[in-house]
Amino acid sequence: MPRSTPPAKATKNDLAVALLITVVVAAAALLGFRILKARQEESTPEPVASAARGPGGLDGAQLFRGLPVPSPDGKILYWTGWWAGRGGLLSTPAAGGEVTVLDEGLPAKESRASVSPDGNLVAWLADDESFGYGLIRVCDVKKGAPHGFSQRRVQADPAAGVHWWPPDEELLYVEPESHRLMRRYVDGGKPALAAEGIQCAAGGEGLRISRTRDAAFAYDDVSRHSLGTPNRSACLEYVVPAPDGQVVAMVEAPYSATMHLATLLLLPAAQQDRPRNARGAPIWAAYVPEPGYVEWSPDSSRLLFFWRTRGARGDVGILRDDAAADAAVISAADGSVVRLLHWPGAAKEHRAAWLDAKTVLYLEDTGPQRLWRVDAETGEATVLLSDAHAAPGAEVESG
């Protein structure tokens, strides 16, 4: 029988060649995977505002963080939110048109745009990802660039928002954790204390600033603060002066566990601080099921009264002919109801404000977001912006 040939033994050179081939094959496979992944990423569109996950993988990116705020002349709307995958301070013509990202960044959860009295500066809150606070940013909308104030690391309580103090270019904001309301000029200087003990809950309306002829107040969720003094009292009423200072709207809210009925009054300015028996007859008074929100038109001619939640204790028209109305437009001259409004859409949470003397901005804020223009005299509504417009290349619908 022929002898079988013994198997050859692998030499060191053979092992080196085999190892080299293995490394080359693995490197080629890795390179191919990276090329394929890069091509997939290039073909994948950027996330948009209506997507479940926004830029940076953040959940709940929304077109609107809050109700847009008009410029003093009513021609431009400013707000914080997301547009075509970009977050920050946004603007669009109030009549409809292109959306512009004025200042890019991550908006804080409670961020609300605030326009200076002259309309040149807009303040907003970016998210301080390290601590969960808001970082105050100011944009010079005339120059189309961030204001120098944005280079300072000034933290604020997002739930309280940021406000302008007219007529000076001062910002009002609440320091996180200290709950102190501070005043600070945007062009320099040290902050000054305006009030202490501010309490604003996340998801609420934020701090509300009210200025009458003789005094200035800040309203939080539970108290009324006299600005510049330590005076603070339980919030049993909310006073909103008309822009011209002649008339005030006053919501008296004797809140208790068993009684929610409130009184909505129109009074001549300066009477709101007098005792009830010394006020004289109000211009107009009505009972409402619970305290609501009041907004004056820019020309001081009309008042908008509404609630944030549909059907909380009934509706605005509960004591009137239309018990299902969501809002009332009231004349400042005699308190007559100009129009009872029904908000368009099916949202349960509402935000509304005047655009001009005849037009109300309404944000449908539950589910898909839609911004409406509502005619205060006819009740007719048209969509100005919606989540569908936030996709790249989408046309903006003009009312």
- Residues 97-113 have pLDDT tens digits of 899 999 999 999 878 89
Give alpha helix (H) positions in the chain: 12-43
Q: What per-residue confidence (pLDDT) applies to 192?
A: 93
Q: What per-residue confidence (pLDDT) applies to 382?
A: 94
pTM higher than 0.75 for the full model? Answer: yes
Rounded CA separation 178/199 (Å):
10
Nearest to 235 by CA among 258, 249, 217: 217
Q: What per-residue confidence (pLDDT) applies to 203?
A: 74
Q: What per-residue confidence (pLDDT) applies to 70?
A: 95
Domain range list for the chain: 60-207, 236-399
Is it true that the peptide bond before 167 is cis, omega within 30 degrees of 0? yes
Q: What is the pLDDT of residues 217-276, one digit of tens each?
A: 898 888 889 888 888 877 777 888 898 888 888 887 655 555 567 788 898 887 777 776
Nearest to 297 by CA among 74, 128, 80, 146: 74
SS3 17: helix
CATH architecture of 236-399: 7 Propeller (2.130)
What CATH superfamily classification does 60-207 receive? Answer: TolB, C-terminal domain (2.120.10.30)
pLDDT tier at 48 (50, 70, 90 boundaries)?
very low
C-alpha distance from residue 266 to each of 146, 237, 261, 279, 379 (Å): 41, 13, 17, 11, 23
For the chain, the straight-line distance linking the first and the last C-alpha, in angstroms and rounded, comes to 101
Rounded CA separation 73/24 (Å):
68
* 240 phi/psi in degrees, rounded to 5: -125, 105
Residue 34 has pLDDT above 70, yes or no: no
